[in-house]
Structure formats: C-alpha cells, structure tokens
Amino acid sequence: MKDETMTRPVLRIENLCKSFGTTPVVTDVSFDVHPSEVIVIIGSSGTGKSTLLQCLNLLHLPTSGKIFLEDQEITAPGVNQDRVRRQMGMVFQEFNLFNHLTVLGNVTVGMTRVLGMPVKDAEKKAMNELERVGMADHRHKYPAQLSGGQKQRVGIARALGMSPKVMLFDEPTSALDPELTGEVLAVMQKLAAEGMTMIIVSHEMGFAREAADRVIFMENGRIEEQGPPDRMFTRPESERTRKFLSIITTGKAEPPSGSLGQDTL
Amino acid sequence: MLQFLLPGLGVTVSVTLIALCLGGCIGALMAVFRVYGNPVIKGLAASYSVVVRAVPVVVIIFILFFVISAFIDLSPFMSGAIALGFASGAYQTEIFRGAILSIPRGQMTAARGIGMSRAKAIRCIILPQAFRVAIPSLINEVTLVLKDSSLVFVIGVPELMRRAQYASASTMEPLLAFGTAACFYIVLTLTLSKALEAVEKRFAIQF
Ligand SMILES: Nc1ncnc2c1ncn2[C@@H]1O[C@H](COP(=O)(O)OP(=O)(O)O)[C@@H](O)[C@H]1O
Ligand SMILES: [Mg+2]
C-alpha cells in the first residue's frame, strides 16, 4: 500500500458525468489516482467502465465534471486533446494493433509520427519496450502472425513507447484464451512493480488481489464501493458488491448485464 | 500498320495513367470526405459521385473540352485526360469509401489513443490499410479507364483508336487496323493489371 496522503495525484477526477444522447452512462464519478497507484475497476457489463476509461483520455468528451492530469485541467476549453492523449497509454480488449505495420512499426509509429522522434531513436526505444514485454524477437512479424497474448503484449509496448504518465487497460485479457491470459497479466504485474501508474478494468481477481492498491466497484455508471482488495473481496460493505463478487468468483469472466437485477441494455 | 498505331499507344497509356492518378486523388479525398466529413461536406462529396456516375463519360469529355477550355487554355490531350480522371474519380470514391468502411473502428480508436489527430490517423493508419483493401477493385477500374480512354478520340486526341481509324481509312483494311488496336488494348490491360497485382502482393496484409 502506497502512502496516498503525501503525493500529488497524477489524475484527479471530479464529478465526471457522461451521457450518450439522453442516456446517462457515467454518473458523478470522482476519484484520485496517485503516482504508482494501481487501480482495478470491476463491475458488470454495460455499466460504463469502458466509457469512463475513454473519458479519462478524452476519447469521449465528458458531458460534465473535471479531469486533472497532474496540475492541468484537461477538460478545460481550449486544451489540445491530442497532446493529452499522448501522455496516457491505452490498451484495448481487442488489441487494435495496426494491421499494416510490423510489431516494431506498431511501437514506433506513435513516436515518429506523433512525437516527431527520429526513426533511429524511436526504433531503439521501441526495442526497449518490446524487451520489457518479451516481444523483441517478434519485431518483424505482422499482427496476423501473432497469438492473442502476443498481440496484447505488443499493444502494451505500443502504449509504453509514448512514455505515458498513466496506463489505462480496458479488459486487456477478456478476449484471450484462458491459457494466454497469464503472459499478459505477468507483464502488467511487472509494470506495476516498476511503479507504473495504472487503471485497469479487469475481472482477474487473482491479479487484482496481488497487484491492485485499490479496487473500485462500478454499478450503473456510479462508484458503488471502493477500497483495498483484501477488504473489498473479503468484507464488502455493499450488498451489490457482495452479489457481484459471488457471481464473478463462481466462474464467469464477466456476468451478463442484467444479472444484478438491473438491465442496462 | 504498326507505324500507324504505335504512336497512339503512348498517348493512350499516358491519358489512362493521368486519368487514373487524378481519379485516385479525387477518389481518396472524396471518400475521406464522405466517411469523416461534416454533413455539408458529406453531401457535396456524395453529389459529386452520384452526378458524375450518372453522366456519360463522352458528355463529360465534351463539356470539359468545349466549355472549360473556352476559359482556360487546355490542349485536347489534357482536357481528355482530366475529363476521364474526373469521371474515374467518382467510381474510385465508391471504391475507397467501401475500403475505408471495411477497416475496423478500433484502428481509429487506437490511433487517437496514441495521440494522433484525426487527419493524421486517416493518413497514417486508415488510408494505407484501405488502399490495400481497394486494390482488387482498382485493378478493375484500371481496365475500365483504359477502355474509356478510346473516347477522347471524339475531341481529336491522336490515341490508339484515332490512329486505328486513320490506318483503316488509308490502308482500306479496317479488320486489320481495328484488330491490331484490339490486340494492343488486350496487351495493355493485361500489363496494367499484372503490375497492380504485383503491387497487391508486395503490400498484402493478412487479417
Ligand atoms: N458511443 C456510444 N454511443 C451510445 N451508447 C454507448 C456508446 N458507448 C457505450 N454506450 C452505452 O453505454 C453503456 C455502457 O457501455 P460501456 O462503457 O462499454 O460499459 P462496460 O465497459 O462497463 O461494459 C452501454 O449501455 C452502451 O450501450
Ligand atoms: Mg467495456
């Protein structure tokens, strides 16, 4: 457990709301993310976890509320959103590797085309990141030639290449065969140990127990309960949390929406 | 016979290539407008493609030659090439639009996620993939433009068709003249398609 009182938050979310049309999807979410903190967000499908994550790096613009990245309010008018996104790495459930680029190309393209790094420097840094995720030997392959777990590790390297202040993971292992989740979780665990600040939507309870400093349970677009993993998993205060956890631990990776008696379709 | 026709070959090839390149630029741009533009731009791009595809190519050639060239100085060769390019652009708009729409949404999301602007994401991530998807349809378009290039003879451009007509008139052997021209078109079509197929192989990506 890191000391949260001493440090200035990397990310501060204040009363964040996001609606699509008139449908509220994220409602009044507030929390701070401290340097090197690892936050795992859990909650049933359709509850707004992905939307929340995509609001954090402005892939979705919040309907209301404020987000601060270090000292800058990134939701303020006139902020360069592309510049904000460069500072936050995002890892997707479906990997979304660039299909026409090699593994190396996937990691360098952001450095060369966005940060304007010289190709040589970018390749050097990309190789470092690929070493970190154990994919350096595959640098000349195309995404189609990789397994799901390998794709996801390249996805992580691509995000790391931009030297992000925070890493956002949206169900990084949900699209993987069970035998491949381990290699991705191991990489994430290593990043956590190295002090990377991470927000992870995941239902890998074992991983959450080991790596998370805090677990946030979301329900219907709100934070229902949050706390350190050992307390959340053993003595949840909310009845809904308890219900959700019992569903999750009896096997299913993600319970279908509506399983909590609240249909969010 | 060959001495009549051979000079026309170069003209046909250049008219076709200029038209294809111009059409490719127009097509890619209009396709981007149609997929990513605001409603006004979308509408304008859609009208271009609908109107131009509805009008016979010969009409476009005449309009460009007689109407436009009254204002700006355009040789028949250039008017013909531009008219064909303008027409081909409408078809290539549809080809590129379909190709862009076939690229998974996640590619754009991921590109934005590493801080690319929309324009840069389209240029560096979407279009390179869309181009590869489009190649088989583009090969088809190449053969169509090549054949349409014979239409510019109506404004007196000395391309293959025009030359064949000369040859037929002066040698009184129409079958030989037009037969030879037909062979040239066949060889050209095969050559251009093969060239593009090589490009397709070179850049193939598996999904
Ligand atoms: N772009 C969008 N437009 C409209 N509705 C959306 C959009 N994205 C997500 N939603 C809706 O918002 C709700 C929450 O989705 P999501 O954030 O993906 O949930 P989760 O990641 O927790 O499964 C869902 O009901 C979904 O249908
Ligand atoms: Mg989701």
| DSSP code per residue over B178-194 | HHHHHHHHHHHHHHHHH
Closest CA to A44 of A223, A238, A244, A265: A244
Query: What whole-number distance in Å separates Cα of residue B192 and Cα of residue B70?
Result: 34
Confidence of residue A248 (pLDDT cuts 50, 70, 90): confident
The total of other beta-carbon atoms located within 10 Å of residue A77's CB is: 5
- How large is the average pLDDT for residues A247-262? 54
Model pLDDT, residue A249:
78
Query: What whole-number distance in Å separates Cα of residue A196 and Cα of residue A210?
Result: 15
- How large is the average pLDDT for residues A229-241? 92
> Does the pLDDT of residue B49 top 80, yes or no?
yes
B72 phi, psi to nearest 5 deg: -120, 150
Mean pLDDT computed over every residue of chain A: 91
Model pLDDT, residue B100:
98
Q: Which two tokens stand for residue A233?
A: 């998993």
> Does the pLDDT of residue A153 top 60, yes or no?
yes
- On whether the CB atoms of residues A42 and A217 are closer than 8 A, the answer is yes
Of the residues A54, A100, A129, the best mutation for testing chain B's interface (the one with the most B CB atoms within 10 Å of its CB) is: A100
> Does the pLDDT of residue A125 top 90, yes or no?
yes
Query: What whole-number distance in Å separates Cα of residue A70 and Cα of residue A10?
Result: 5
Question: Helices (DSSP H) in chain A: which residue ranges?
Answer: 49-56, 81-86, 103-113, 119-132, 148-160, 178-193, 205-211, 229-234, 239-249
Confidence of residue A251 (pLDDT cuts 50, 70, 90): low
Is the CB of residue B204 less than 8 Å away from at least one CB of chain A? no
Secondary structure of chain A: what % helix, strand, coil (to 5)? 35, 20, 40
Q: Which value, in Å, is the radius of gyration of the alpha carbons in chain A?
A: 18
Residue tagged 């613009």 (tokens): A61
Model pLDDT, residue A252:
53
Please state the length of chain A. 265
Percentage above 70 pLDDT, chain B: 99
Helix (H/G/I), strand (E/B), else coil: A31: strand
Give the ipTM: 0.88
Is the CB of residue B42 less than 8 Å away from at least one CB of chain A? no
Contact state of A92 with B113 under an 8 Å Cβ cutoff:
yes
> Does the pLDDT of residue A31 top 60, yes or no?
yes
**Pocket flag, ligand 1, residue A48 (CB < 6 Å):** yes
Query: What whole-number distance in Å separates Cα of residue A84 and Cα of residue A69?
Result: 8
Contact state of B116 with A144 under an 8 Å Cβ cutoff:
no
Question: Tens digit of pLDDT for each residue in B115-174?
Answer: 999 999 999 999 999 999 999 999 999 999 999 999 998 888 888 888 988 888 888 898
Of the residues A51, A55, A59, A99, the best mutation for testing chain B's interface (the one with the most B CB atoms within 10 Å of its CB) is: A99
Is the CB of residue A86 less than 8 Å away from at least one CB of chain B? yes
Of B34-38, B74-78, B97-101, the least confident: B74-78
> Does the pLDDT of residue A21 top 50, yes or no?
yes
> Does the pLDDT of residue B98 top 90, yes or no?
yes
Which residue of A82, A92, A99 is in closest CB contact with B117?
A: A82
Which residues, 6 or more positions from A258, have their beta carbon under 8 angstroms from its beta carbon?
A264, A265
Query: Which atom of ligand 1 is the closest one to the Cα of A53?
Result: 17
Record the pTM. Answer: 0.89
- On whether the CB atoms of residues B86 and B60 are closer than 8 A, the answer is yes
Contact state of A85 with B114 under an 8 Å Cβ cutoff:
yes
Contact state of A142 with B205 under an 8 Å Cβ cutoff:
yes
Pairing of strands A11-20, A64-69: antiparallel
- How large is the average pLDDT for residues A156-165? 97
Strand partners, A40: A200, A215
Is the CB of residue B121 less than 8 Å away from at least one CB of chain A? no
User: What residue type is A180 in one-letter code?
Assistant: L
CB contacts, 8 Å: A142 with chain B: 205-206
Model pLDDT, residue B123:
96
Residue tagged 């008696």 (tokens): A261
